[in-house]
Amino acid sequence: MALYRAHVLICKGTGCTASGGPSVYSAMQEELKRRKLDREIMLVETGCHGMCEMGPIVVVYPEGALYCRVTPEDVPEIVEEHLYKGRLVERLLYTVPSEMTKIPHYRDIPFYSKQHRIVLRNCGYINPEHIEEYISRDGYQAFAKALLEMTPEKTLEEVKNSGLRGRGGAGFPTGLKWEFARKAPGDKKYIICNADEGDPGAFMDRSVLEGDPHSLIEGMLLGAYAIGADEGYIYCRAEYPLAIKRLKNAIAQAEELGLLGDRIMGTDFSFHLHIKEGAGAFVCGEETALMASIEGKRGMPTPRPPFPAQHGLWGKPTNINNVETWANVPQIILNGAEWYSSIGTEKSKGTKVFALTGKVKNTGLIEVPMGITIREIVFELGGGILNDKGFKAVQVGGPSGGCLTEEHLDLPVDYESLTAAGAIMGSGGLVVMDEDTCMVDVSKFFLEFTQRESCGKCVPCREGTKQMLLLLEKITRGEGTMEDLETLEELAQMVKRMSLCGLGQTAPNPVLTTLQYFRDEYEAHIKDRECPAKACAALIAYTIDPEACKKCGLCAKNCPVNCISGDRQTPYKIDQERCIKCGTCLEVCPFNAVHKD
């Protein structure tokens, strides 16, 4: 193998692929060849680095320099300046928003220096399509250690002692769950990886599947060994084509090396892994619906008990964990339960991956120790609110989570604190909202999602979410009454209490928390027929101030429905009857003559 003096890592995660990563990759490939550097500089494609906002991301080692928003046109300069002459291309380095200073090194960027990467340790660092790179980073060492030197009981004990809890949302202790499946009678047992990530804006699992698929496979191998299962399924939605491609590739490589298959490493342990592609129904993230889908039935939940540990896939004892949970396991076995439980808080151990989205400067993927405050996440890792507007709320836990306010900013992020505040850890979606966000509109948005995704099996969820949505629509149209608010609250409590599965049980959370923390906004919509954040179209009107209007006609030219009239002599005027409230006139007016009230 030739010696490479430098490695150029180009992100080919979904975010960077969308922003042009592949064309940067091919430009780099050509440029290195042209400069005859291709034999001493290695080009590596990686999974997600997490800082998708700044993509396409290019990292150059050994220096560890990180270049942001690289275009194919920048490539010759990077090759000539950095790779040939050793000078950093300063204009492409990351800039700290508050101080406008450039940071050359990966590890010094606040977005990364505050993180603690266990699950994401290899994401953006190795080539996910080469099993050798995973092995070079201690890959499959934990599995080999457990299989050859530890008993299944000891392996299970280690996971139990680590304090790892399910990362899919509910936070059930993983070791305990494994024990139920292990102790359940039966020779045939299954394990399943829930990779049916469906929350709007969430891409934690996707990034692990795309950036480090072997860590999931190794975690499942360890789980199968501890539980006594010989077959496993990864249930992944078909909307993740890259994840499925890399998983298939990873499984094939592991099979070739004899890490998957019959009599692994000469022992009696056999394990076969399959991928089941889901069609993308949100309810299939619920474990009983997921198993129904794998069995080829319609994806609908069934009442529990019986729990999957007793009566799961095809009636056999089954253990289901999500991607992030599985990916934690190899590190726990490798470094020990004591090491893992030293990270985090008393009841929530380890780290959690969050997809940070919404109105923050650095959107992307972060892995932080449990117990970090929301303030640190939003203002330090996230870099603060976009355009330096005011912080209003953060929505934790996806469509089934709740909205937390400014007073919760110093809340430590762990399972108990979040639940106490009315939100849930969920799978790890974090949507930040600024002062221009209408909370009624937000809860309507999330409810629209859960209502559409309701499978329709049980009445509270099917009918309840629909009626709640109708009420919310009525309120945002400015036609609501105070009785509607009461009905809404009553319905929300009912749906939460009586729904069959987690989808319905958590769907009212956004409504309930916004009613709790932002009730005044609901009341403003009803009593004053006003949207305080000026977001609900039915409750706002655009007008042109005749004094400030310079009669340039830009608004009329850009209006998509031609409802603005005027000429060089008369100030422009909006016909309120025909106005669709798109806000284009406000955006284009150079003199701030358009007002929104």
Partner 1 sequence: MPKITSLEDLRKIKEQAKDLTSARSGGKTRIIVGMGTCGIAAGARDVMTAILAELDKRGLKEVTVETTGCIGMCQKEPLVDVIRPGEPRITYGNVEPKDAARIVVEHLVNGNVVEDKVVGRTD
- Report the interface residues with partner 1, using CB under 8 A: 1-7, 9, 40, 42, 61-64, 83-87, 125-126, 130, 132-133, 135-138, 140-141, 144-145, 148, 256-259, 265-266
Q: Which is nearer to partner 1, 1 or 420 (CB)?
A: 1
Burial of 388 (0-12, 13-18, 19+ CB in 10 A): exposed
d(CA 45, CA 121): 16
d(CA 4, CA 387): 43
Closest approach of partner 1 to the CB of residue 392, in Å? 40
Give the per-residue SS3 of 385-422.
Answer: EHHHCCEEEEEECHHHCEEEEHHHCCCECCHHHHHHCC
d(CA 514, CA 492): 12
Closest approach of partner 1 to the CB of residue 78, in Å? 13
Q: Which is nearer to partner 1, 7 or 534 (CB)?
A: 7
Q: Which is nearer to partner 1, 81 or 406 (CB)?
A: 81
Task: Please report, to the nearest 10 degrees, the dihedral formed by the alpha carbons of residues 413, 416, 420, 422 taken in order.
Answer: 60
Q: Which is nearer to partner 1, 124 or 397 (CB)?
A: 124
Task: Give the dihedral sign, CA 129/131/137/139.
Answer: positive
Polymer length in residues for the chain: 597
Closest approach of partner 1 to the CB of residue 129, in Å? 12
Other Cβ atoms less than 10 A from the Cβ of 87: the count is: 9
Q: Which is nearer to partner 1, 135 or 552 (CB)?
A: 135
Q: Which is nearer to partner 1, 149 or 407 (CB)?
A: 149
Q: Which is nearer to partner 1, 83 or 385 (CB)?
A: 83
Closest approach of partner 1 to the CB of residue 166, in Å? 29
Which residues does residue 404 pair with via DSSP β-bridges, in sequence order?
Answer: 394
d(CA 270, CA 225): 9
Q: Name the phi and psi angles at 43, rounded to 5.
A: -105, 125
Q: Which is nearer to partner 1, 251 or 447 (CB)?
A: 251
Among 594, 593, 556, 552, CA closest to 578: 556
Q: Which is nearer to partner 1, 65 or 539 (CB)?
A: 65
Closest approach of partner 1 to the CB of residue 90, in Å? 12
Closest approach of partner 1 to the CB of residue 559, in Å? 54
Burial of 314 (0-12, 13-18, 19+ CB in 10 A): exposed
Q: Which is nearer to partner 1, 268 or 407 (CB)?
A: 268
Closest approach of partner 1 to the CB of residue 120, in Å? 15
Among 198, 283, 290, CA closest to 499: 283
Cβ 6 vs Cβ 40: under 8 Å: yes
Closest approach of partner 1 to the CB of residue 45, in Å? 13
Closest approach of partner 1 to the CB of residue 544, in Å? 57
Closest approach of partner 1 to the CB of residue 40, in Å? 6
d(CA 342, CA 337): 9
> Element (H or E) spanning 190, and its range?
strand 190-195
- Distance (Å) of CA 138 to CA 134, 145, 252: 7, 11, 19
